Amino acid sequence: MSSKREIASLHKVVKNYGEGKVLTKALRGISMKILEGDFSVMMGPSGCGKSTLLNIIGGLDRTTSGEVKFNDENFNTLSNKALSLIRRQHIGFVFQNYNLLPVLNAYENAEYVLMLQGVAPAKRREKVMHLFQEMGLDGLENRYPRELSGGQQQRVAIARAVVTEPQLVLADEITANVDSETAQSLLELMATLNKNNSTTFLFSTHDPAVIKFAKKIIILKDGIIHSEKASIEETGQFAHR
Ligand SMILES: Nc1ncnc2c1ncn2[C@@H]1O[C@H](COP(=O)(O)OP(=O)(O)OP(=O)(O)O)[C@@H](O)[C@H]1O
Ligand SMILES: [Mg+2]
């Protein structure tokens, strides 16, 4: 809705991988806005560019052309270091393949960014343990990623992403490896963060359970936005835009 603050915007974003015969046009001109409090879900067939788009919005990867703005800062004008500072302060990532650091245990993985932010140890402990309890991870603090199931690793990855209370959480296929009960509880936790803290979420998924929670659905096809629609709670009706 127009009264919401704009967190991020994309203008004609193009992303190519490779060149010549192996050129892949992953994104072919994406323009979109992310507003504070969004709980949006991106869908589309494998290879349509969902992960690429999330990486670009989060400043993990650069555009080939076009612009990404986050809190009015144009990523094109920022150094890699400045970009990584924005990520550390404001953006949480949950990756398709978890990306936990193998040399850190579950607790250390979850507290890592808080440590980089300079949060005191006692405060870190309080925040991480509170989330671990809410997410059914208590008792697993000392386990290394290789000693955790896929679903447990995914929960640690989610705890790591939200423990810093970022403005924006980018979540790539986060329910792919968890059972439906766990998926439901993770989504409820994120919906609560969305409601209470106005944390903004952008998911990519194929999972109907995630789609059920969406306030906005974005359909991606072949690197472009095919359609966008807002859910009933947002508009009073299911409206196409
Ligand atoms: N690092 C890379 N180098 C070359 N091509 C890439 C790279 N990453 C992605 N691609 C290509 O870009 C296109 C978009 O990939 P992307 O991973 O964004 O799709 P996706 O929608 O996330 O798919 P999935 O649902 O399978 O996760 C695909 O054709 C993919 O092969
Ligand atoms: Mg993907």
For residue range 81-111, list pLDDT tens digits in order. Answer: 999 999 999 999 998 889 999 999 999 999 9
Q: Over the stretch 207-230, which tens digit does the pLDDT of each residue have? A: 888 998 999 999 999 999 999 988
- Protein residue with its CA nearest to atom 27 in ligand 1: 46
pLDDT over threshold 90, residue 120: yes
DSSP E strand boundaries for 47-105:
65-70, 73-74, 91-94
Closest ligand, as measured to the CA of 57 = 1
- Residue 50 CB–ligand 1 contact under 6 Å: yes
Residue 236's pLDDT band, with cuts at 50, 70 and 90, is: low
Q: Averaged over 46-57, what is the pLDDT? A: 96
Closest CA to 61 of 105, 102, 93: 93
What phi and psi values does residue 142 have, to the nearest 5 degrees?
-90, 0
Tell me, using a 6 A CB cutoff, whether residue 238 lines ligand 1. Answer: no
Say yes or no: domain 6-231 is CATH 3.40.50.300.
yes
Backbone torsion region of residue 60, taken as left when φ is above 0, otherwise alpha when ψ lies between -120 and 50, otherwise beta: alpha
Ligand (nearest to CA of 47) = 1
Q: For ligand 1, say whether the CB of 57 is within 6 Å of any of its atoms.
A: no
**pLDDT tens sequence across 58-67:** 999 999 999 9
Confidence of residue 241 (pLDDT cuts 50, 70, 90): very low
Task: Look up the pTM and report it.
Answer: 0.92
Question: What's the chain's average pLDDT?
Answer: 92
Under 8 Å between Cβ of 94 and 166: no
Q: State what percent of residues in the chain have pLDDT above 70.
A: 95
pLDDT, residue 233, reads 62
pLDDT score, position 239: 47
pLDDT recorded at residue 54 = 97
In the reported structure, the alpha carbon of residue 46 is separated from the centroid of ligand 2 by a whole-number distance in angstroms of 7
Half-sphere exposure of 210 (CA within 13 A, CB side): 24
Is the pLDDT at 151 greater than 90, yes or no? no
